[in-house]
Structure 1
Amino acid sequence: MQIRNRGLIAKAGDQASVWSPSPREQERRQKRIEQARNRRLVAIVSSLVVLGSIAILIITSPGWQLVQETFFDRVYGQEVLPKVILGFVTNISLTLIAGFFIAVFSLTLALVRSSRSPALTPFRFLATAYVDIFRGVPLLLVILLIGFGIPALQIKGLTNSVVVLGGIAVIVTYSAYVAEVIRSGILSVHPSQRAAARSLGLNQFQTMRHVILPQALRRVTPPLLNDLVSLLKDTGLISILGVTDAVRAAQIEASRSFNYTPYVTATILFLLITIPLTRFTDRSLRISMEHQNAQGVA
């Protein structure tokens, strides 16, 4: 006797049944493989055509020789690379340090804004005002106001380090954005989760810590990683205060030779970090969506 199930055939009574796809299933699999191969071929050909056309347009342009000498001088790029890398270390260090304080401060803001306690009403008002103000002011203006305003106060004990002041400006601005991302994650958790936790005897703090926050942070991980990429790029703005980061180092070298290859060198350094982070963010987003879809099906 034979048992047929979902296109697979097995002989009953065998000690070890061997399952094999039916002819129809094999045909479907082969068709899917061919379709995937065709899509991949079309993608490769179209990409080569578009990128090749752009490359030909640039290379055959009348000013390409001058642009190549001014922006893509390989010898000069290798000469200034150590100095630009030294400045880029400042960007990396500032990103890591600022990222830690942003995480702590923004989480506090999000928890205060999401709190339902009447006693925290004044703090909710202050947190809301803070978020509205610093989300509405360009980061460059905040850097200028803090970088030049705080030293002008001449208060004893306050630092005049442009690196610290630039870092503070980045922290207070990004904390407003990240706080809203975290708060959106908290609000996305279904109210039944909170009610179920309270029915088990958990208080408000325990509910937020053990039930709400883990789900919220998992959902907003991709946008938080995206903010990290933006943070690394925006640390270059502190160069306006005179901090010798990658941007400032490139500017100094370019002003000496009137050759803009150092800017391209700094650009490549940023891309070496931001592109992998961006791809990792996309992968995290895809995994998160697959997890949510699996939960929805279940």
Structure 2
Amino acid sequence: MTVSSDLLTVLKAERTEPPKATPPRPALPLAAAAVAAVLVTVTLTAATAQSVSNVLPGSGLPVAGGAVAVAVAVLTLLKPALRAVRSGRAAAAAWSQGRRADARRAASEGREDARTVLGWCLAALVLLGAIWFLFANDRAVQRTFLDGEVIGISLRETASAFGTNLFIAVAAQILILVWGLALALARMAPGRTGRPLRLLATAYIDGFRAVPAIIVIYLIGFGLPLAEVPVLSSLSPVWFAILALTLTYGAYVAEVFRAGIESIAPGQSAAARSLGLSHSATLRHVVLPQATRRVVPPLLNDFISLQKDTALVNVIGTIDAFNQSKIFASNHFNLSSVTVVAALFILITIPQARLVDRLVAREQRRGKGA
């Protein structure tokens, strides 16, 4: 009986004893790394400014810009780095005095400031690396890719030829939407009667997704004229390119449509059929309107890739922006005209990418609201 009482006493003591507090993660090492990163960034900024001034003698602009960059780095980065050090010390002091909550809060603030400084220092180092790359080897890279004179000479004709890329992209997108939807519906054809369509659509989609677009363009652009296929062999290179891209991207878009259709709850189709709607009417009035809204973001992603792949049409002799820029590059022994093409693609692609992000965010908000 005494042993049992002693055992109960020990168990109660262990149960009532508060758990041992775990100290917060120390912030001082991270804060010290942030201070070191600021010093390294300042040093490299000054060195880069000096290197640029050596490449551009007689111009005080690089040195002045370097001085301004150093001052900005010191004022904007060193302050939070030192604040992180102070927070780390305050956290250690608060923990030693038994103020657990204050210690954890100070350590968290110190780590946050240190991570912020490290992130900005990393961005600054990337920017300094880009500047060094442009001015390395006596500005050889800058003269090769960013020669202002060649850009000015080639800009007008290259931008005009870029209209061909846009026409190919827009025409192909319209045809791809129709062809991709037809393939998706064929792959989802119901019952035993739809089995042949499903097999053919699956074989087509798998085949064209496996073959690179440039090979399809080459085969169609040169193969159809050689085979003298009626009607098709008389098309222009632009329409050969549109046909090849439609066949290739139709396979990808078909899978996007299929995923959107399958994301619709089966109960909606069942309810529509119970009301007397046929399979085609259910697809047209119930399933496809909802599925189309859901697949807009991935469709836009595919069309962004399509716009970039219009540059591949140069292999069949289409005078697009890339082919036009290569003519200037050959005449001037300089690639600045190709940089113009890259800038044109960036100008039309980045806004669409941001639009995709907004549409995805809207769909996520809608899903949370539901």
Question: Would you say 1:218 and 2:293 are equivalent positions?
Answer: yes
Of the three residues 125, 147, 153, the one matched with 1:73 is 147
Which amino acid in structure 1 is aligned with residue 142 of structure 2?
Answer: Q
Contact 2:165 2:307 in 1 (8 A): yes
Shift of 1:279: 0.6
Identity of aligned residues (%): 42
Structure 2 equivalent of residue 185 of structure 1? 260
Higher relative contact order (CA 8 A, sep 6+): 1
Contact 2:134 2:142 in 1 (8 A): no
Of the three residues 149, 165, 171, the one matched with 1:97 is 171
What are the Cα deviations for residues 216-252 of structure 1, in whole angstroms up to 9, with x where unaligned? Answer: 1111111000011111000110011110001100111
The 1:73/1:59 distance shift into structure 2, 3 A limit, reads closer
Which amino acid in structure 2 is aligned with residue 229 of structure 1?
Answer: I
What are the Cα deviations for residues 80-123 of structure 1, in whole angstroms up to 9, with x where unaligned? Answer: 11110111000001111111000001111111111214322222
Which amino acid in structure 1 is aligned with residue 245 of structure 2?
Answer: V
- Give me the whole-angstrom Cα distance separating, in 2, the residues matched to 1:203 and 1:140: 41
Structure 1 equivalent of residue 19 of structure 2? none
Q: Give the alignment's TM-score, normalised by structure 2.
A: 0.66
Structure 1 equivalent of residue 250 of structure 2? 175
Equivalent residue runs for 1:5-154 within 5 Å: 45-46=120-121, 48-59=123-134, 61=136, 63=137, 65-154=139-228
What are the Cα deviations for residues 153-189 of structure 1, in whole angstroms up to 9, with x where unaligned? Answer: 1234332421111111111000000001100111111
Structure 1 equivalent of residue 283 of structure 2? 208
Equivalent residue runs for 1:201-280 within 5 Å: 201-280=276-355
Contact 1:58 1:64 in 2 (8 A): no
Contact 2:168 2:241 in 1 (8 A): no
- Give me the whole-angstrom Cα distance separating, in 2, the residues matched to 1:190 and 1:247: 45
Contact 1:189 1:212 in 2 (8 A): yes
The 1:43/1:234 distance shift into structure 2, 3 A limit, reads farther
**Number of residue pairs aligned between Structure 1 and Structure 2:** 259
Shift of 1:131: 0.5
Which amino acid in structure 1 is aligned with residue 174 of structure 2?
Answer: F
- Give me the whole-angstrom Cα distance separating, in 2, the residues matched to 1:253 and 1:117: 58
Q: Give the alignment's TM-score, normalised by structure 1.
A: 0.81
Which amino acid in structure 1 is aligned with residue 202 of structure 2?
Answer: T
Of the three residues 356, 360, 366, the one matched with 1:281 is 356
The ranges of structure 1 where at least 4 consecutive aligned residues each deviate by more than 4 angstroms after the TM superposition are 41-44
- Give me the whole-angstrom Cα distance separating, in 2, the residues matched to 1:48 and 1:115: 52
SS in 1 for 2:229: coil
Shift of 1:56: 3.9
- Give me the whole-angstrom Cα distance separating, in 1, the residues matched to 2:163 and 2:334: 23
- Give me the whole-angstrom Cα distance separating, in 1, the residues matched to 2:139 and 2:261: 55
Segment drifting more, 201-210 vs 266-275: 201-210
What's the RMSD between the two structures over aligned residues? 2.2
List alignment gaps of at least 5 residues for structure 1: 1-33
Higher helix fraction (1 or 2):
2
Contact 1:246 1:266 in 2 (8 A): yes
- Give me the whole-angstrom Cα distance separating, in 2, the residues matched to 1:216 and 1:146: 32
